[in-house]
DNA sequence: TTGTATGCGTTATCAC
DNA sequence: GTGATAACGCATACAA
């Protein structure tokens, strides 16, 4: 690490000087403007390479009011579903020459607000957000929306938002097919470990659960319904409470796979036979569900499809200056699918 | 989504006008400059909030030549180790008011080069990189280094690089203690599924393996040593080859946990008793290793420590304009630890 | 303590 | 097809 100060990078002026051309021409050549002679273009490109020139995005963005950068806020990148979605988005955007600033809210609303501000400061061309579980008020995104920056919500989304794009999984159907599957494989007494009802996800999955219970004429035991943060500890604790009772369930639907894993481990420790005495179904198709013994039945959410759809919508939007064109809808639902394994 | 065009954000000129002050004063107040009257400062802050003002990072960065943004390149964010490191880095940098642009190379050298260019264009204040397995030439980072942008390498690092900061796990020791552990639990015939030797990681782990084998006076069977991309399929294939032989190993050291999982699954399918007939040890302490049955013995790499160290070094560096101060070293090794579970 | 003036590197709008 | 010039929003050297 030398003692040199920050050395200046070459600018278009350096290229202009070297080529005895004006900076305007250099800029045009670099941007592949149509009214530039072929030879000039190639001369400029050659000289740029030779001088190790790299466009200064700040100057460019300041002048043109376009950053070709898109912001992304997620609860945490380590959640399997999000990691997959992000990867798809990043690879997709890259093809169109867009960059992605990935931010983690750590599921903190305060952090989410701050990140929205920061991304506003960075003048991102658009924002993609999967909100925290406690985000019920989405007004911290209003400033973006108001100045015409497209906002795409996915996974955890606002319920009444007409100005933004909404992309979500079919959580109602997910809850419904999961519960129906339990009923169809013979479960009579089904428990549900759900996430907090502040989020659309768990509202919808719960509604699907209830619908399936009703259709299969199964009665609901309120002591077996939990709405809580979907952590390993919470799920274990819920299982402890459930199995304290005289009557115990023969089926369990959990709103994520971490909870399903915890439940399975609880069953293992207490000598409850799965799937014999208790059938379990999770949600998300986390890779861990296929590795654990017995492998857990779960609901696939197709993160790849979600990511692709986000990119597609975004590119459409940016091509049209943030305006929806024609009859395109602003709300998209991605199908889900039952992945049957050994716990049911 | 209305039909409005991109609306102008308020600038310091708007605040200046509203307060009958000069833009310079506003700028100083906003940056908490010492020579500004208290009342002026609070007036400015109040008006800024009222007008929904947000500093334009591009303008600010262009002028001051500081972006308060740091670039990060990793092979993929979905790898457990990297996800943890990134989260620690992001949270750490956030405390100091720095942002992070996270980029994935998908383990493609070409992509890595391109990303380095893009981050150069974005004029990040520093760059953090975990390179691809095929990165043996690191010259695409030279331009950053040359203009004084600090570069920190971690995990997969260059071997002869004095100008950058290097933070790595103690891979030699990891390979050594893993192999020693197998030997000490009675293994006589140890196999090794390693990564490609183009990377420092696997060179070092292999060296540790060899050292331990020598110390325990165990002979090496070249047919049981594999250097390959550490995927599930490759590991399975390696196992197939190994167990075709007349003599088979009683111990296996794999350079990552995905390979260990594949090996365990192979053993399960072929009726090989683990740990009875074959002991297995992986690397990284991926969460899956504690979930699978039997739980896999592995090597903990302390991603949290790695992340913390990176932030610490970076903040030191940036405080001193990219210069190492005093006797501080430019290369740091993070210890590793054996996590003993049921496969040994 | 505040104001004035300038420039960061680029692109857009005119001219020619 | 190219050049001159202004402007993007902010931070800073210098002046007051």
**For strand C, is any atom closer than 7 Å to the CB of A55?**
yes
Q: What is the rounded distance in angstroms from the CA atom of residue A147 to the CA atom of residue B8?
A: 7
Cβ contact, residue pair B147, A104, below 8 Å:
no
Q: So what CATH class is A67-169+303-334?
A: alpha beta
Residue A101: partners with Cβ closer than 8 Å, 6 or more residues away: A69, A70, A71, A72, A119, A122, A124, B99, B100, B101, B102
Cβ contact, residue pair A148, B261, below 8 Å:
no
Q: What is the rounded distance in angstroms from the CA atom of residue A153 to the CA atom of residue A169?
A: 12
Q: What is the pLDDT of residue A330?
A: 85
Q: What is the pLDDT of residue A4?
A: 39
Q: Residue B291 is nearest to which of A77, A78, A291, comparing CB atoms?
A: A291
Q: What is the rounded distance in angstroms from the CA atom of residue A42 to the CA atom of residue A32?
A: 10
Q: What is the mean pLDDT of residues A268-294?
A: 97
Q: Which of B63, B146, B62 is nearest to A51 (CA)?
A: B146
Q: Which fold has domain B171-300?
A: Rossmann fold (3.40.50)
Query: pLDDT category, A314, cuts 50, 70, 90?
Result: very high
Domain boundaries, chain B: 12-55, 67-169+303-334, 171-300
Cβ contact, residue pair B87, A104, below 8 Å:
yes
Q: Is the dihedral of CA A301, A305, A308, A310 positive or negative?
A: negative
Is-contact A296 A341, C-beta < 8 A?
Answer: yes
Q: What is the rounded distance in angstroms from the CA atom of residue A118 to the CA atom of residue A143?
A: 12
Q: What is the rounded distance in angstroms from the CA atom of residue B299 to the CA atom of residue A227?
A: 36
User: What is the CB neighbour count within 10 angstroms for residue B277?
Assistant: 12
Q: What is the mean pLDDT of residues B14-18?
A: 95
Q: What is the rounded distance in angstroms from the CA atom of residue B165 to the CA atom of residue B155?
A: 12
Q: What is the mean pLDDT of residues B242-267?
A: 97
Q: Residue A118 is nearest to which of B99, B106, B291, comparing CB atoms?
A: B99
Answer whether residue A3 shows pLDDT above 50: no
Q: What is the rounded distance in angstroms from the CA atom of residue B84 to the CA atom of residue B56?
A: 31
Residue A290: partners with Cβ closer than 8 Å, 6 or more residues away: A296, A341
Cβ contact, residue pair B330, A292, below 8 Å:
no
Contacts of B67 in chain A (CB under 8 A): 58
Percent of chain A with pLDDT over 90: 90
Q: What is the mean pLDDT of residues A266-286?
A: 97
pLDDT digits (tens, 9 = 90+) for A194-239: 999 999 999 999 999 999 999 999 999 999 999 999 999 999 999 9
pLDDT digits (tens, 9 = 90+) for A142-200: 999 988 899 999 999 998 777 899 999 999 999 999 999 999 999 999 999 999 999 99
Query: pLDDT category, B7, cuts 50, 70, 90?
Result: low
Chain A residue with CA closest to B83: the answer is A78
**Strand B126-129 with B151-154, pairing:** parallel
Mean pLDDT rounded to a whole number for chain B: 93
User: What is the CB neighbour count within 10 angstroms for residue B153?
Assistant: 25
Query: pLDDT category, B322, cuts 50, 70, 90?
Result: low
Q: What is the rounded distance in angstroms from the CA atom of residue A167 to the CA atom of residue B28?
A: 42
Fold agreement (B12-55, B171-300):
no
Alpha helices, H only, B122-199: 142-146, 171-184
Burial, A160: exposed, middle or buried (Cβ in 10 Å; 0-12, 13-18, 19+)?
A: exposed
Query: pLDDT category, B296, cuts 50, 70, 90?
Result: very high
Q: Which of A342, A340, A337 is nearest to A174 (CA)?
A: A337
**For strand D, is any atom closer than 7 Å to the CB of B321?**
no
Q: What b/e sequence results for A84-119 when a residue is b if at least 16 CB atoms lie within 10 Å of its CB, and e otherwise? A: bbbbbbbbbbbeeebbbbbbbbbbebebbbebbebb
Does an H or E element contain B281, and which?
Answer: strand B279-281
Answer whether residue A276 shows pLDDT above 50: yes
Q: How far is the CA of B35 from the C1' of C1 (A)?
A: 6
pTM: 0.93
What are the start-end ranges of the E strands in A124-178? 126-129, 151-154, 165-169
Answer whether residue B281 shows pLDDT above 60: yes
Q: What is the pLDDT of residue B124?
A: 96
Q: Residue B261 is nearest to which of A122, A164, A291, comparing CB atoms?
A: A291
pLDDT digits (tens, 9 = 90+) for A41-67: 999 999 999 999 999 999 999 999 999
Q: What is the mean pLDDT of residues B11-32?
A: 96
Percent of chain A with pLDDT over 70: 95
Q: What is the rounded distance in angstroms from the CA atom of residue A21 to the CA atom of residue A116?
A: 42
Q: How far is the CA of B28 from the C1' of D13 (A)?
A: 14
Is-contact B190 B251, C-beta < 8 A?
Answer: yes
Rg (CA), chain A: 26
Rg (CA), chain B: 26
Q: What is the rounded distance in angstroms from the CA atom of residue B299 to the CA atom of residue B283?
A: 5
pLDDT digits (tens, 9 = 90+) for B178-237: 999 999 999 999 999 999 999 999 999 999 999 999 999 999 999 999 999 999 999 999
Q: What is the pLDDT of residue A8?
A: 75
Domain B12-55, CATH: 1.10.260.40
pLDDT digits (tens, 9 = 90+) for B134-190: 999 999 999 999 888 999 999 999 987 778 999 999 999 999 999 999 999 999 999
Q: What is the pLDDT of residue B209?
A: 98
Q: How far is the CA of A65 from the C1' of D8 (A)?
A: 8
Q: Residue B1 is nearest to which of A87, A143, A330, comparing CB atoms?
A: A330
Percent of chain B with pLDDT over 90: 90
Residue B116: partners with Cβ closer than 8 Å, 6 or more residues away: B73, B127, B129, B140, B141, B143, B144
Q: What is the mean pLDDT of residues B44-73?
A: 95
Burial, A37: exposed, middle or buried (Cβ in 10 Å; 0-12, 13-18, 19+)?
A: exposed
- Tally A–B CB contacts below 8 A: 162
Answer whether residue A324 shows pLDDT above 80: no
Question: Which residues are paired to B168 by β-bridges?
Answer: B333
Q: How far is the CA of A30 from the C1' of C16 (A)?
A: 22
DSSP B207-263: HHHHHHHHHTTPPP-GGGEEES---HHHHHHHHHHHTTSSS--SEEEESSHHHHHHH
Q: Which residue is nearest to nucleotide C9 (CA to C1')?
A: A59
Name the nt closest to A65 by C-alpha to C1': D8
């Amino acid at each position: 690490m030398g003692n040199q100060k920050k050395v200046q990078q070459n600018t278009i002026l350096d290229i202009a000087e070297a080529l005895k051309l004006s900076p305007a021409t250099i800029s045009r050549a670099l941007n592949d403007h149509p009214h530039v002679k072929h030879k000039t273009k190639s001369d400029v490109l050659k000289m740029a390479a030779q001088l190790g020139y790299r466009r200064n995005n700040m100057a460019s963005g300041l002048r043109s009011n376009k950053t070709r950068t898109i912001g992304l806020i997620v609860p945490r990148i380590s959640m399997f579903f999000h990691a997959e979605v992000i990867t798809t988005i990043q690879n997709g955007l890259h093809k169109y020459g867009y960059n992605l600033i990935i931010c983690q809210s750590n599921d903190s609303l305060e952090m989410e607000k701050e990140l929205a501000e920061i991304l506003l400061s960075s003048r991102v061309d658009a924002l993609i957000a999967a909100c925290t579980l406690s985000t019920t008020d989405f007004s911290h995104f209003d400033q973006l929306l108001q100045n015409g920056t497209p906002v795409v919500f996915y996974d955890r989304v606002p319920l009444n938002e007409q100005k933004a794009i909404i992309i979500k999984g079919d959580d109602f159907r997910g809850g419904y097919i999961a519960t129906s599957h339990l009923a169809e494989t013979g479960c009579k007494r089904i428990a549900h470990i759900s996430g907090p009802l502040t989020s659309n996800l768990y509202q919808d999955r719960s509604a699907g659960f209830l619908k399936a219970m009703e259709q299969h004429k199964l009665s609901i035991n309120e002591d077996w319904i939990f709405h809580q943060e979907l952590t390993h500890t919470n799920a274990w604790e819920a299982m402890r409470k459930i199995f304290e009772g005289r009557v115990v369930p023969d089926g369990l639907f959990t709103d994520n796979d971490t909870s399903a894993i915890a439940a399975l481990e609880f069953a293992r420790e207490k000598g409850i036979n799965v799937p014999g005495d208790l059938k379990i179904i999770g949600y998300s198709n986390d890779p861990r569900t296929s590795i654990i013994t017995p492998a857990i039945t779960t609901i696939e959410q197709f993160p790849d499809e979600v990511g692709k759809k986000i990119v597609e919508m975004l590119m459409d939007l940016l091509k049209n200056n943030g305006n929806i064109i024609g009859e395109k809808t602003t709300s998209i639902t991605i199908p889900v699918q039952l992945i049957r394994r050994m716990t049911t």
